């Protein structure tokens, strides 16, 4: 016969820590602790499989299992010398869910089960503390009523509040025994009224009902949603842990507390925690009484403290990770209620991992797997101080577009940002940013936009600069002309203080305090060196200015995966030449303007090559639609209309002529319009100028002894003939430059894979392309038909409504975009087995996406400078997990 | 040894008509005619393979072939009793190219080869016509100079013109023998000057040079481009036909002419053609002398006429198709120079096909294959009269967006169109049309836009209405406010006449005459009944108003493949309710507005169901971004700015408020924005209202005995959960309506496959979808990353530069979009083997695309009403050719 119920406690257990599938995480932990001799209140775990049987059996627990539980319960009662419902020595238990994977707060817990009118009296007598007994009872009725009988919590809370008001009691603890007795009567009344039945007095029946309610909680909407979000299978089921109650509130020789074996904020190896004398677990976190630091326990109860120290140290050694534990001392006797691997901050995660390797506790490989890549952000950016944050008014939550905290005075234009930044830190607030705003973004401490998604202009540029950014905060209405923003009922004007958390998307009114990242980087340096040991794919960076490239090199980037040349055309007088080029209506004039840009571009590339000495630099030819470089159409229209209405004729003709060209370039859907290689094909002289600048810079560098590895990338190719056309221009230009220079430089010509057609015809495209770079931003846009600039609103709605789990602009969509990437790889390498393939979308800095890239077989990922360490760590973890999988397959 | 040269003539031939691969089309035809005893001037054909050998052999003809030609030439000289270059009886020949596939005008011809200073004198003496001889000579020098020696034609023409001016001669024929002698001297001078060598006097050398020039012409840019356009392989090569010259200009017993065995314009079975006495072939088409109808030949040369009649009748029976022939009568002796299947108009094609079946000449299957689907348009729309067209100034050429001719007075707004249409036919001219223009488009005879492609709003709506439309005429600048259009140097204002040819894209200034289609449809009816016999896929129509649905039924549409419900919301008061719905900022107000729309929608659907009694009707839920229903953002901005500048305050507040909402809805790329099912998901009440209207209408119709088959289609699904969400609303609404009505109607819920992700995850989507409709317009946009509204300009550039062969919005792109369609079919039917799959993009009316759909295994195609017959014919042809392929495979 199958075994479905496993006892634990008293220094032994039927299960063990490896049995998470059967016992759930909590059950396995209790079994493991029991086996290790840790004092755990005895009990038993009902296996997760029973949860499925329960549903298959028409929402009832099968009789055979019912019998098995009967036997286990009897054994437990014998161990404890107590009996459930006994009027002499009643057994009280807790009933808790526990699935294979931790689902914090998702399912329900019932404490003090076994209390009824009679046993409560017994508890009152035996403890000599009637207040304690009735407080337990009323809590039990409420929990049972809510979890098992599905009665609204408020129906109980509301009675408690009324009574407190009547008694003018501030705290629950101000109520008397009589008050609590009254309350239990009232609570039972609520149960009667809501269910039509009396509150069950039979303790055995209470247990069955509670167990089944835990099973049912597996399918509550909260839990289902959590599983969907975390990709946990629906058929795993939850275990049920039935455990003897122990009480930390039996007087001054009792206590309860929580702790960590190391400091979870800093990682320092110190015993860390807090406790309360004469209290129950929930009191420690409720914040009504101030808990005391755990070191004080040593004086008060030295034996219990020493035992706790010893046990938790053993547990850390046993689990080989920081332990987050809960304990209760009942009448000087220590019980461990729970232990689990502790959550920790980024800096702590790195320090703990490194120190545990030094202590010989874990291997380097394990250390690398111990740090969540996203946590590294905390080592690179300042964060908002928690207390200061709590004291401010949270205005709204936008998208966490670029991590880190930022505090500053509001400005509404880039020019204003530049003007004010000298005097005080500024936060630039825009409906959306455009390349015109770059100078303001450069000086701002933070950027806030009301529109746009994770890959909007603001987000991409901010991440590149390492500037915190909250994007797409849709509740904010920005009125640039009036210099104010409105968010629901709050209005802020320029000069007001605002605080952003770019890691969470939170926006606060006022000036928060910030904490700078730990400047001592020795732990990080060791950690990253191990990361590099295990990593199998390259990590490059997306950068166009030497400053960003240098930052990325500092973080260990192995080349530039994407240099967006258009970003080079916005600054200073360049935009003027660029405009002249666009406004030219013939090739000659266009070439004249391009000639002016040539030396500037050459210098741009020269500087990048210098920083990237010895590493490849992928340079993408001009990509965005040309009208991005011109004034906005509607601005011009409005200006002209206003001039006309006020009979102002000076300058109107020039504006009207400009508008004609702007109208010509106007597009309904610029994302799908005249951009990318389509520009280079219709205006070959642009590609020619860029190629000339690249090769002249390369030759110049090579002469100076810099090792240059240029890779010229043609964007938005969907058809091999587009690439043929542009490649010919590049190759011809290279030949010309090399002939003039009397020397050659090795280079490659490749393409972006960023529209579905290029992935679908990658075999054809690879005939011409010497490398592929997957542009996952645009590929996501076209595969879904989502504009990254416009989808912010409905993607949030989609997430709320459970239609998508993750923003596909943040995490690669494996079924759609991922399948196209795999097609591109397969077909591309069919034609050209040594094809270099990387990814340069924003996904290159996202851990889950990097994992996909490693598994799919890409050669490198490219991320914005501040994401390089994250990408490296994610890549190393994916390589390790892949290695393990392969080991399993070949074993 | 391989044989490379094939003789023909004198009632026999070494090759035959099946040998097009080797002899080329012309050579095979000459061989076949010779074998059939047709009097063909003797000669020989150099095989197409020699062309490749010529290039492989470093642009020289290999010696073995040179020798083979020598032998054939000697044989020919023996047959003719003449010798090339002989001063007693010189042989003169023509040298013509001839590839496997006809490439009209693509390659070059040389006549009168063999003439030199000496043989010209002989020809003058023998013919007794020195003028004729020197005219032949000067023509030969010019052709040889141009084709073989690559001298510009103008270098010769210019001397001829000068001489004519000097002599005050109007026509070439006004020049005297002496003049022509002088001209030959001058022409030889040009050759000397341009090539540095004398004009070759050696006739044998002339022949070698001409032959090689024909080979070289295979790779001239014109020919290469033609082959790429027509998907003809570059390595086929051209044959060379060397044929004895015969002369129709040897006096009044000689003549030359062209003809058809049936009237190519009407299809009537009459001997049809024209001829000139004492003339050479080119004179007939040059238009200097007026040719005489062929019937007159019967009186002048009865024997030759009878023989011609007999020969051509035999040729028609032999080739089983209308023959287009050229003949020359030299001294009363008839020679056939060429015969080929004749080109014909659409009406003629249908009539000929039907009558040939009646005559027992061809099978019904062959008849169906004989008509080009695109030609059917000519039976459905008026056309511009050719002469009238020639007399007008052609302004520009745009995209042939909706076929047929239209002539009218220019109007620049929809309102003006409605106002003027009662008085005179109008052509609506817009930069682009929007749904706001529908009322004007309905009354206009034609539509002309300066922007947008083959699937722009104007194009789609015009095709639906059967109104001729030229779209994307980029050279035209429309100034709506000033009520004028500018096209290069021409300015037209409203009220001016304009003529459009929607089948070619031509735009003419002025009022052209038109020819109405043949109203007698009996041939068409027979023809279409055969088409239906062979057709294997269904043909539905895209229609939303009963008028269009009726038109489509008249053309035999078997249901509605796409009813775009948004088109129903623009007319009359509906737009007001629609705007109220959009401007509502809460669900209650939105529902109020929707309630007003409900009865209107219900009636819409009721009317459609009635027309489509017994046929399925696919209704798509609301698809376009909501701001399409609101005033344009920039218009509002301009209006407000103007009001402010002129201190006008009345009404400004309302406009500002409207602008706020318009701004909220504004999107950078609406095509990829908040539209399709994304609307129905965020505003479920819209889907609910539409479903309610559909089912209430269905119930109502079913009660009246109309057989309703509604298929509800959810647009823009990329993720099965989107469909789940919308399907649930539809099903719940259906249940509600059916419960109330006390009856049920069968229906299906399905989806569009129109973003790559839906094709890639079709297996998942088919779990919910009961049918797929491939939306190839949007699928093309997203697969290429081309906006159909913006790509007009660069797609034309791409075609010019040979980057794409065809506009992918007109013809399905098989490598990219096609591969996604195949994926959708395979994966969809994996999940649901009986899944109904059709196509509803504009491609449904394009013959090549229909062919793809038939081969891919779709169940039906859906086309705009006027394209239904075309789609049916294309489908039948694809089915026949597929059947043949399968026959070949199984044989």
Question: Which B positions 289-348 lie with beta carbon below 8 A of chain A?
Answer: none
Dihedral (C-alpha) A692, A698, A701, A706: value to the nearest 10 degrees?
Answer: 170
DSSP annotation of B669 reads -
Kindly state the tokens that stand for A351.
């320090």
CB pairs under 8 A between A and B: 195
Average confidence score pLDDT of chain A: 91
Strand, coil or helix: B217? helix
Mean pLDDT of B276-280: 85
CA distance A255 to A289: 13
pLDDT tens digits, one per residue of A615-660 = 999 999 999 999 888 888 988 998 898 888 888 888 889 888 888 8
Residue B678 confidence (pLDDT): 96
Q: Which residues of B touch A757 (CB under 8 A)?
A: 783-785, 813, 815-817
- B681, B782, B790 ranked by CB distance to A801: nearest: B681
Residue A5 confidence (pLDDT): 96
Are A25 and A100 a contacting pair, CB within 8 Å?
yes
pLDDT tens digits, one per residue of B843-878 = 999 999 999 999 999 999 999 998 999 999 999 999
Taking CB atoms and an 8 Å limit, are A757 and B804 in contact across chains?
no
Tell me the nearest-neighbour CA distance from B484 into chain A, angstroms. 15
Residue A739 confidence (pLDDT): 97
Going by C-alpha positions, the residue among B435, B409, B432 that lies closest to residue B421 is B409
Q: Is A481 on the interface with B (CB under 8 A)?
A: no
Band of residue A1 on the pLDDT scale cut at 50, 70, 90: low
List the single residue in A with minimal CA-CA distance to B717: A784
Residue A288 confidence (pLDDT): 60
Tell me the nearest-neighbour CA distance from B500 into chain A, angstroms. 24
Residue A520 confidence (pLDDT): 52
Q: Which residues of A touch B642 (CB under 8 A)?
A: 641-642, 644-645
Residue B626 φ/ψ, nearest 5 degrees: -65, -25
CA distance A577 to A574: 5
Q: Is A784 on the interface with B (CB under 8 A)?
A: yes
Going by C-alpha positions, the residue among A438, A406, A440, A442 that lies closest to residue A425 is A406
- Cβ-in-10-Å burial (0-12, 13-18, 19+) of B527 comes to buried
CA distance B139 to B699: 79
DSSP annotation of A670 reads G
DSSP annotation of A502 reads T
Are A59 and A51 a contacting pair, CB within 8 Å?
no
Residue A286 confidence (pLDDT): 56
DSSP for B537-601? SEEEEE--SHHHHHHHHHTT--SEEEEEGGGGGSSTTHHHHHHHHHH-SSHHHHHHHHHHHHHHH
Tell me the nearest-neighbour CA distance from B366 into chain A, angstroms. 36
Residue A106 confidence (pLDDT): 63
Q: b/e per residue, A294-307, with b = 16+ CB within 10 A?
A: beebeeebeebbeb
List the single residue in A with minimal CA-CA distance to B726: A803
CA distance B105 to B222: 9
Kindly state the tokens that stand for B759.
């094709």
| A286 or A220, higher pLDDT | A220
Strand, coil or helix: A291? coil
CA atoms within 13 A on the CB side of A315: 34
Q: Is B603 on the interface with A (CB under 8 A)?
A: no
- pTM value? 0.82
CA distance A651 to A645: 14
DSSP annotation of B318 reads H
Band of residue B303 on the pLDDT scale cut at 50, 70, 90: very high
pLDDT tens digits, one per residue of A84-109 = 999 999 999 999 999 988 776 666 78
- Cα distances from A198 to residues A147, A151, A185, in angstroms, run 16, 13, 11
Beta bridge partners of B497: B409
Question: Which B positions 639-668 lie with beta carbon below 8 A of chain A?
Answer: 639, 641-646, 667-668
Beta bridge partners of B400: B470
ipTM exceeds 0.95, yes or no: no
Band of residue A344 on the pLDDT scale cut at 50, 70, 90: confident
- Cβ-in-10-Å burial (0-12, 13-18, 19+) of B58 comes to exposed
Band of residue B519 on the pLDDT scale cut at 50, 70, 90: very low
Are B659 and B633 a contacting pair, CB within 8 Å?
yes
Q: Which residues of A touch B433 (CB under 8 A)?
A: none
Residue B4 confidence (pLDDT): 95
pLDDT tens digits, one per residue of B72-90 = 999 999 999 999 999 999 9
Hunting for tokens 């090579």 — which residue is that? A702
Hunting for tokens 């949603």 — which residue is that? A225
Residue A715 confidence (pLDDT): 98
- A669, A784, A794 ranked by CB distance to B718: nearest: A784
Taking CB atoms and an 8 Å limit, are A725 and B638 in contact across chains?
no
Band of residue A278 on the pLDDT scale cut at 50, 70, 90: confident
Strand, coil or helix: A451? coil
User: Which helix (H) or strand (E) segment is B328 a member of?
Assistant: strand B323-330
Strand, coil or helix: B5? strand
Residue B518 confidence (pLDDT): 58
Q: Is the pLDDT of residue B734 over 60?
A: yes
Mean pLDDT of B773-788: 96
Q: Which residues of A touch B719 (CB under 8 A)?
A: 803-804
Tell me the nearest-neighbour CA distance from A870 into chain B, angstroms. 29
- Cβ-in-10-Å burial (0-12, 13-18, 19+) of A516 comes to exposed
pLDDT tens digits, one per residue of B365-393 = 999 999 999 888 888 888 888 888 888 99
Sign for the pseudo-dihedral over CA of A554, A555, A556, A561: negative
CA distance B414 to B429: 9
Band of residue B395 on the pLDDT scale cut at 50, 70, 90: very high
Cite the DSSP H helix spans in B274-429.
Answer: 281-286, 295-300, 302-319, 346-358, 364-370, 377-380, 386-391, 414-421
Q: Is the pLDDT of residue B624 over 90?
A: yes
pLDDT tens digits, one per residue of A692-747 = 999 999 999 999 999 999 999 999 999 999 999 999 999 999 999 999 999 999 99
CA A739 to chain centre: 52
- Cα distances from B739 to residues A98, A289, B708, B743, B745, in angstroms, run 44, 60, 18, 7, 11
Are A672 and B785 a contacting pair, CB within 8 Å?
yes
Mean pLDDT of B197-209: 96
DSSP annotation of B6 reads E
Catalytic residues of B: 457, 840
| A174 or B840, higher pLDDT | B840
Tell me the nearest-neighbour CA distance from A638 into chain B, angstroms. 5
Q: Find all residues with CB under 8 Å of B426, minimum gap 6, and list them.
A: B408, B409, B410, B411, B416, B417, B420, B443, B444, B445
3-state secondary structure A681-717: HHCHHHHHHHHHHHHHHHHHHHHCCCCCEEEEEECCC
Q: Is A757 on the interface with B (CB under 8 A)?
A: yes
């Amino acid at each position: 016969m199958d075994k479905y119920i496993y006892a634990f406690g008293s220094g032994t257990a039927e299960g063990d820590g490896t049995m998470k599938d059967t016992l759930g995480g909590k059950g396995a932990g209790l079994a493991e602790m029991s086996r290790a001799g840790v004092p755990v209140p005895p009990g038993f775990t009902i296996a997760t499989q029973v949860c499925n049987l329960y549903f298959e059996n028409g929402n009832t627990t099968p009789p055979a299992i019912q019998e098995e539980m009967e036997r286990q319960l009897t054994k437990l009662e014998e161990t404890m010398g107590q009996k459930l419902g006994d009027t002499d020595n009643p057994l009280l238990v807790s009933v808790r869910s526990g699935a294979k994977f931790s689902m914090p707060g998702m399912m329900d817990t019932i404490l003090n089960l076994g209390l009824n009118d009679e046993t409560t009296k017994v508890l009152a007598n035996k403890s000599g503390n009637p207040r304690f007994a009735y407080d337990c009872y009323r809590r039990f009725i409420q929990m049972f009523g809510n979890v098992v009988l599905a009665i609204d919590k408020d129906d109980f809370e509301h009675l408690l509040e009324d009574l407190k008001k009547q008694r003018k009691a501030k705290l629950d603890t101000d109520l008397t025994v009589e008050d609590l007795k009254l309350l239990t009567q009232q609570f039972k009344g609520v149960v009667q009224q809501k269910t039509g039945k009396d509150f069950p007095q039979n303790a055995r029946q209470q247990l069955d009902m509670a167990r089944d309610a835990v099973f049912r909680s597996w399918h509550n909407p909260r839990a289902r949603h959590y599983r969907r979000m975390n990709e946990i299978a629906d058929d795993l089921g939850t275990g049920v842990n039935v455990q003897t109650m122990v009480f930390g509130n039996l007087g001054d020789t009792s206590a309860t507390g929580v702790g960590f074996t190391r400091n979870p904020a800093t990682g320092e190896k110190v015993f860390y925690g807090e406790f309360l004398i004469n209290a129950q677990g929930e009191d420690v976190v409720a914040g009504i009484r101030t808990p005391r630091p755990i070191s004080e326990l040593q004086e008060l109860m030295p034996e219990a403290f020493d035992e706790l120290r010893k046990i938790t140290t053993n547990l850390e050694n046993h689990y080989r990770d920081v332990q987050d534990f809960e304990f209760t001392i009942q009448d000087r006797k220590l019980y461990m209620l729970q232990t689990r691997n502790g959550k920790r901050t980024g800096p702590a995660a790195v320090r703990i991992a490194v120190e545990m390797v030094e202590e010989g506790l874990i291997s380097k490989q394990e250390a690398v797997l111990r740090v969540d890549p996203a946590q590294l952000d905390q080592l690179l950016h300042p964060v908002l101080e928690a207390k200061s944050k709590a004291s401010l008014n949270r205005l709204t939550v936008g998208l966490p577009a670029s991590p880190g905290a930022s505090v500053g005075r509001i400005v509404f234009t880039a020019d204003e940002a530049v003007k004010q930044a000298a005097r005080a830190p500024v936060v630039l607030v825009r409906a959306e940013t455009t390349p015109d705003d770059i100078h303001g973004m450069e000086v701002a401490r933070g950027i806030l936009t009301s529109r746009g998604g994770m890959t909007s202009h603001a987000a991409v540029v901010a991440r590149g600069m390492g500037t915190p950014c909250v994007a797409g905060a849709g509740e904010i209405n920005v009125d640039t002309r009036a210099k104010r923003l409105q968010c629901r009922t709050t209005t802020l004007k320029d000069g007001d203080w605002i605080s952003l958390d770019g890691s969470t998307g939170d926006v606060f009114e006022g000036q928060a305090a910030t904490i700078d990242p730990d400047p001592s980087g020795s732990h990080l340096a060791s950690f990253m060196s191990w990361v590099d040991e295990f990593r199998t794919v390259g990590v490059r960076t997306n950068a166009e200015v030497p400053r960003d490239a240098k930052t990325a090199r500092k973080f260990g980037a192995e080349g530039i995966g994407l240099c967006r040349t258009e970003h080079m055309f916005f600054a200073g007088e360049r935009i003027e030449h660029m405009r002249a080029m666009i406004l030219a209506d013939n090739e000659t004039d266009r070439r004249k303007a391009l000639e002016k840009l040539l030396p500037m571009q050459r210098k741009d590339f020269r500087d990048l090559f210098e920083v990237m000495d010895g590493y490849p630099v992928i340079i993408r030819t001009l990509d965005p639609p040309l009208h991005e470089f011109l004034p906005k159409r509607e601005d011009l229209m409005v200006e002209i209309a206003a001039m006309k209405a006020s009979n102002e004729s000076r300058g109107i003709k020039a504006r009207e002529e400009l508008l004609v060209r702007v109208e010509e370039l106007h597009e309904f859907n610029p994302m799908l319009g005249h951009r990318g290689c389509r520009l280079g094909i219709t205006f070959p002289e642009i590609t020619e100028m860029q190629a000339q600048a690249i090769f002249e810079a390369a030759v110049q560098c090579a002469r100076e002894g810099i090792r240059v590895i240029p890779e010229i990338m043609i964007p938005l190719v969907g058809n091999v003939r587009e690439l043929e056309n542009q490649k010919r221009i590049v190759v011809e230009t290279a030949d010309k430059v090399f002939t003039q220079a009397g020397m050659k430089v090795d280079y490659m010509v490749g393409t972006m894979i960023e529209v579905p057609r290029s992935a679908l015809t990658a075999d054809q495209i690879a005939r011409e392309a010497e490398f592929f770079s997957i542009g996952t931003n645009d590929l996501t846009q076209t595969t879904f038909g989502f504009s990254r600039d416009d989808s912010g609103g409905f993607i949030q709605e989609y997430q709320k409504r459970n239609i998508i789990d993750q923003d596909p602009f943040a995490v690669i969509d494996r079924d759609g975009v991922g399948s196209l990437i795999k097609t591109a790889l397969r077909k591309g390498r069919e034609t050209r087995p040594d094809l270099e393939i990387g990814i340069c979308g924003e996904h290159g800095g996202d851990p889950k996406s990097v994992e996909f890239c490693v598994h799919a077989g890409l050669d490198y990922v490219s991320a914005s400078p501040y994401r390089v360490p994250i990408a490296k760590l994610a890549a190393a973890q994916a390589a390790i997990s892949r290695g393990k999988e392969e080991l399993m397959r070949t074993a």
